[in-house]
Amino acid sequence: MIHLKNSAQITAMKDAGRITGEALLVARDAVRPGVSTYEIDLAIRRYIEKCGATPTFLGYGGFPASACISINDEVIHGIPSKSRILREGDIVKIDTGATYHGYVGDSARTIPVGHVSEEAKRLMQVTRDSFWAGVEMLRPGNRLGDIGHAIDSLVVANGFSTVRRYVGHGIGTDMHESPDVPNFGTPGRGIRLCAGMTLAIEPMVNVGSFEVRELPDGWTVKTQDGSLSAHYENTVALTSDGVLILTEVEKGF
């Protein structure tokens, strides 16, 4: 069942989204060569809790941290660790969420560690652009497949591939609500979009094949072929007045 939100509920979600977005800014400031993913996760947790919110990821399905932090060919769900040290040239995906007054924000960014390759820069830019291509299709009367088709079309046109095994989702009082939001699809197909929908749209894009594999830790997902991967996500709300990006707190990031 899809839970449509009224204006008061969307306003409450803005607060959770703002805290989530600000936590990612804290994470961005912490990213540099020599820093462990554990240190970044700790900074995120401290910020979320300082705001009076709860780190949504911590304990979710047994996940042991406040953020998923994934490096280079790791796509999503990387577990922060004191032994995972960032190096010059890495790209690091940071995915986190905050629960505030019962509502959840969920957002992810891919951040360069110092100077990165031109391929990595282009991958990050295309991934971000594909998110906005999907948002362009988020209009009352359109279909869910229009969003995924727009994302995948831009990704493929740039020579990359869209992960298919993992998708976006509805969001509200729970981090994962209906509907699933694939990053690929057929135009004009799927659930009809309407005002009150709140979604986490999150393209995951690989340089090589879209195939992925899960590591024995039960969480970390890597590209099957070892190619670089990027991730970009925001919580968004579709209203009668247009789209609100609930987790974006700094333009261009």
Q: What is the DSSP string of 187-251?
A: TT-SSBP-TT-EEEE--EEESS-S-EEE-TTSS-EEETT---EEE-BEEEEEETTEEEETT--ST
pLDDT of residue 167: 98
pLDDT at position 206 is: 98
Output the pLDDT for position 199. 98
SS3 168: strand
Cα dihedral 65, 74, 92, 229 sign: negative
CATH class of 7-245: alpha beta
pLDDT at 109: 98
pLDDT, tens digit, for every residue of 15-68? Answer: 999 999 999 999 999 999 999 999 999 999 999 999 999 999 999 999 999 999
Q: Where are the domains of the chain?
A: 7-245
pLDDT over 70, % of the chain: 100
pTM: 0.98
Q: How much is the pLDDT for 102?
A: 98
**What's the rounded mean pLDDT across residues 204-225?**
98
Q: Give the per-residue pLDDT at 219.
A: 98
Check if the beta carbon of residue 100 is closer than 8 Å to that of residue 52.
Answer: yes
Q: Can you give the pLDDT at residue 223?
A: 98
Distance in angstroms (rounded) separating the CA atoms of residues 148 and 87: 33
Please provide the distance, in angstroms rounded to a whole number, between the alpha carbons at the two ends of the chain. Answer: 32
The mean pLDDT value of the chain amounts to: 98
How far is 169 from 173, CA to CA, in rounded Å? 13
- Of the candidates 171, 155, 247, 244, the one whose C-alpha atom is nearest the C-alpha of residue 206 is 155
Dump pLDDT digits (tens) for 64-116: 999 999 999 999 999 999 999 999 999 999 999 999 999 999 999 999 999 99
The residue to which tokens 């261009």 are assigned = 252
pLDDT at 130: 98
- Give the mean model confidence (pLDDT) for residues 121-135: 98
**pLDDT score, position 23:** 98
pLDDT of residue 9: 98
And the tokens for 70? 């994934």
Instruction: Give the C-alpha separation, 233 to 109, whole Å.
Output: 7
- Tokens read off for 22: 């600000």
Tokens of 199: 């979604």
